[in-house]
A and B are shown apart, each in its own frame.
Chain A
Amino acid sequence: MTNPASDVRTRPAAGDVAALTARLRADYGERVVTSHAVREQHGHGEGLADAALPDVVVFPHGNEEVAAVVRLCGATRIPVIAFGVGTSLEGHVAALYGGVCLDLSQMNRVLEVNAEDLDCRVQAGVTREQLNAELKGTGLFFPIDPGANATLGGMASTRASGTNAVRYGTMRENVLGLTVVTADGRIVRTGSRARKSSAGYDLTRLYVGAEGTLGIITEVQLRLYGIPEAISAAVCQFPDLKSAVDTVIVATQLGIPVARVELLDDVQMDACIRYSKLEGFEARPTLFFEFHGTEAGVREQAGTIQSLAADHGGSAFQWATAPEDRSKLWKARHNAYYAVLALAPGRQAFATDACVPISRLTDCVLETQADVATTGLVAPIVGHVGDGNFHLVILFDPGSADERAKAEALARRVSLRAIAMGGTCTGEHGIGVHKLDALVAEHGDAVALMQAIKRALDPHDIMNPGKTVPMPGRG
C-alpha cells in the first residue's frame, strides 16, 4: 500500500484558513463563527476533556450547503468535522488538525413521518427527544436511547445503541437509509424506504458508525415502532454478580423479549442510591428491568423473569408501573455517571466500553473488579447485560498525571481483556481518537483494509481526520 508523503496530515496553512473563512462569511454571513468560546464548545464531546479547537464553526441549513462547504474545504484540503450536540465520548469531534466544524444542529426538521410504513426521515440535527416529541399523537416512537439527548445524525455516525438494544437493536438495524455528503462534495442517497437492502452494496451500513470519516450524514431514514400497550419496570437485587448475570443468560435463552435489562454493581448501586435518593435498596449487584408489550404479554414476561431471579437468589421485584415512577428509576440509571462523579467531588471520570460474549461476562466483570482493586482507583460498573456490554466508570484526579496514567492503563487492560475473551473494545461508544490502538489490537491485518477504504472514499483525508482508523503517516 502506498503512503506518499503528501498524506502526512498537519494543520492547514493559516492563509488557506483565512481565505476559506472569508469565502464562508460571504456565503453564510453570521452562520460562520470564529469566536474562541464557540470554537472551544465545538472542540470536544463528553468524554475526557481533551479539546482540540476547529478554526471556524459553520451552521449549515441544508444538504446543498453542507456539500458546498465540503467542496470548498476539499479544494485546499482543510479538515471538515460534523458536530451534532457534542455528546460523543471518545473525542470524535475534537478538531485534531483544526479546520471547519459543521454544526448541524440547525438542520433540525423532521422531514416526513410515514405512520403507516412505520418510518420517518429526519435531518441530521434532530435530537432523539425532539423526534419522540414530534411523534406524539401518532402512536409511534423511536426506541434507541443512549442516555444523552444526542442528534440522530450523530447517533447514526457512531452506530449508537443504549439500554434497549436487546429488543429493538442498535442504529445499525434501525437506519433504513441516509443522505450523505461525500468527501468530494456530492450528495448521495443510500438505502430506501423499502425494508429490503437496497440495490448494490449496503453503503448505508458502511456510513453508519464511520464517525464522519467517510462522509457527512445529513439526513436519516429511521424505522419507528408502535408504542407498547403496556410498559412496566422492576428492580431486583442479587447476593452476587454471577447470580444477576446468570438470570439474564437464562432469560435470553428462553427468548423472553425484555426491553431493557441493566446491571449495576454494588459500588455503582451505592452511588445511585445516594445521588438519586432511591429508597428501599441496598448496595448490592442489581438488575433494572423494563418490559414492553401487551398487558398479558408483560405480565407473562415479568412473571417468568421473577421466578428465574428467585431461582438465582434474587430479591422480590420492586415494581414501577406508573410513568413517573418508571422515569424516576430510569433517570437514576441514566444519571449513574453523575452519581459516580458525586462520590468524589473534583475528580473527573471516563467510561470503558467492553463487550464480550455473554457467557464470559461474569468472568470479565469479576476479573475487571479485581483489577480495579489493585489500582486503588474508584471505578464502578454499569452494564447492558443482555448484550454483554459493560462500562467501568473510572474516577481520577485531573491534577495528577500519575493517577490519570493509571486510569488510562486500567481502561486499556479492560479493552484487551475483552478482546482476549472474544469480544470487542467498544460495544457502543466507538473508536474516536482514544481507541485507535485498541482497534489495531482487535482487528490486526484487517485495519489495513479499513485504511484502504478510508483512502478510497476520502483520498485527501479531509473528513474528520485522525479518528476511527489509524492512518500511517499522519503527523
Chain B
Amino acid sequence: MAEAALAELQERVRAAAAARRPLRIRGGGTKDFYGRALAGDVLDTRALAGIVAYEPTELVVTARAGTPLAEIEDALAARGQMLAFEPPHHGIGTTLGGVVAAGFSGPRRASAGAARDFVLGVRIVDGSGEALAFGGRVIKNVAGFDVSRLMCGALGTLGVLTEVSLKCVPRPKVETTRVVECDAGEAIRRVNEWGAKPLPISATCHHAGRLWLRLSGAAAAVQSAAGTIGGSEVDGSAQWDGLRDQAHDFFAAACEGRATLWRLSVSSTAPWSDFGGDMLVEWGGALRWLVPRAPVDAEALRAWAQRHGGHATLFRGPDKSAGAFQPLSPAVLGLHQRLKAVFDPQGVLNRGRLYAEF
C-alpha cells in the first residue's frame, strides 16, 4: 500500500513537472500558517504513513513522512525513548515529514540539538518525480554530500520527503522544573552563566517576570543542580508542552490571527531589548518571541537580529508583506537558486513558500 502511495505521489509530481503546475506539499496541514503564501494544488503525504523500522537497541527509528508525529512518539515512549529535539505539534495531526521539512525543534533544542542533528537519512521524491535515498540509519556517515541535512528546513522546496530515519534517545530518568522570579535581562544573564556549567538544564523559558528551568538527567545531577539554581519546584509539564506546541497563552492572540508573532534567533548573550510588546525568551537566551503591540519596522528588527548573530522570522501574522524570512545576500541567494534548479528544475515544489525568487 505504501508502495502504491509512493508510486502515485511520483506520478503526481511527474505530471506537475510536465505541466509546470506548482504543488503545495501538505501533511497534517498544521503549518499552513508558516512561510510565504501557499500556492498550487495540494499534494497530501498522509497516505505515506507508518513506522518502517524501530529497533530500540539501535536508538534509531525510520518512518514514512506522512506518519503522525504522535504515533512515533508513542512508539518510542513505550520503549522508554524519545525524540531529543522535542518537535512541536502546531495542531492535531502534525506529521514527521512536516516537522523535518520545517526544521522545527522544541524547548530541548538548546541542550540536545536541532531536528537536523538527529536526521540520519531521508528518502525523497525530487521535482522530476525521481525517488532517491540519502544518508542511512547509522550515526556517522561521510559518504558523499550531506543531502539529508539539506532537506531540514528547506520547507519541501527541494523534494517531497517520503521517509525519514531519526536518531532517538533514552528518556531522562528524572525531570523537574524550577521557577525563579526575575526580569528578562537578569534571566538572560543567569541562563548563560548556568549554560557554561555542566548543569543538566534541558529547557529554559522567561516570560512575565518568571524564569522557568527544566532539569533532566540522573537523580544525583538533577538534585545538585536544583540546589545551585534555587527558586521553587513546580509541576512544569503543561508549561513545556504548551511552549513546544504554541498552546501557551503567550501565543494565543497570534494563533487566533489577532496578532503578529516574530521569532528572533540570536546569539544567546544578545542583550535584552524591549521592542514594545509581549516577549518570551527560550533556548538559554538564543530564541526570543515577540508579539508587538503596534506594527514593527521589520527591517530594523532584522538588522538588530543580524547584529546579534542571527535572523528574524515573521512566524505568524495576517500581513506577511515584509517577507516571512530574513532576506538572503545576493551570493547566497544565487546558491539557493542553483540548488533549487538541481532538485526541482521545473520549480513545482512549494514554489515561493520560502523565498519569492524560487
A residues in contact (CB < 8 Å) with B = 114-118, 139-140, 158-159, 161, 165-166, 169-170, 172-173, 182, 186-190, 192-203, 205-206, 208-210, 214, 226, 228-229, 249, 252-255, 293-294, 296-297, 300, 355-359, 384, 387-389, 422-431, 435, 438-439, 442-447, 449-450, 452-453, 455-457, 468-469
Contact = CB atoms under 8 A, between A and B. Distances in A.
B138 A450 contact: no
B335 A197 contact: no
B269 A450 contact: no
A357 B54 CA distance: 12
A423 B267 contact: no
A357 B61 CA distance: 12
B50 interface: no
Given A116-B269, A197-B116, A294 B198 contact: yes
Interface centre among B59, B116, B170, B309 (most CB of A within 10 A): B309
A180 to B, nearest CB: 9
B341 interface: yes
Contact of A200 (B192, B224, B336): B336
B141 A355 contact: yes
B268 interface: yes
Contacts of A430: 142
Instruction: Say which size band chain B's interface belongs to.
Output: 35 or more
B137 A357 contact: yes
Contacts of A357: 55, 58, 60, 137-138
A424 B139 CA distance: 10
A384 B140 CA distance: 10
Nearest to A294: B198
B30 to A, nearest CB: 20
Given A173-B113, A195-B109, A469-B145, A117 B126 contact: no
Contact of A209 (B146, B283, B286, B339): B146
18 contacts: A116-B192, A117-B309, A173-B113, A194-B266, A195-B286, A197-B103, A198-B311, A199-B311, A201-B339, A206-B150, A209-B146, A296-B224, A357-B137, A424-B136, A445-B132, A452-B342, A468-B144, A469-B144
Contacts of A161: 140
A300 to B, nearest CB: 6
Given A194-B286, A201-B335, A255-B171, 13 more contacts: A115-B196, A169-B113, A190-B332, A195-B114, A202-B154, A210-B146, A255-B173, A294-B221, A424-B138, A426-B143, A430-B142, A439-B143, A443-B144
A431 B269 CA distance: 39
A200 B355 contact: yes
Given A445-B132, A456-B338, A387 B310 contact: no
B2 interface: no
A255 B200 CA distance: 14
A423 B218 contact: no
Contacts of A422: 136-138
Interface in B222-256: 224
Contacts of B132: 445-446, 449
B205 interface: no
Contact of B325 (A118, A200, A426): A200
Contacts of A425: 143
B113 to A, nearest CB: 6
B196 A116 contact: yes
Nearest to B287: A196
B150 A253 contact: no
Contacts of A356: 138
B286 A196 contact: yes
Nearest to A228: B198
A389 B224 CA distance: 35
Given A172-B149, A424-B143, A355 B220 contact: no
B333 to A, nearest CB: 8
Contacts of B144: 431, 439, 443, 446-447, 450, 468-469
Contacts of B186: none
Contacts of B195: 118
A300 B152 CA distance: 36
Contacts of A387: 138-140
A66 to B, nearest CB: 15
A193 B138 contact: no
B248 to A, nearest CB: 19
B133 interface: yes
A175 B228 CA distance: 31
Contacts of B134: 443, 446
B78 interface: no
A48 to B, nearest CB: 18
Q: Which 6 pairs between the two chains have the least Cβ-Cβ distance? A: A194-B310, A193-B309, A255-B170, A205-B149, A427-B140, A196-B265
Contacts of B267: 114, 117, 193-194
Nearest to B324: A199
A195 B268 contact: yes
B59 A159 contact: no
A139 B133 CA distance: 42
Contacts of A445: 130, 132
A388 B138 contact: yes
Interface in B50-90: 55-60
Given A114-B269, A449-B126, A449-B147, A197 B152 contact: yes
A303 to B, nearest CB: 11
B343 A196 contact: no
Given A199-B313, A205-B116, A226-B197, A359 B58 contact: yes
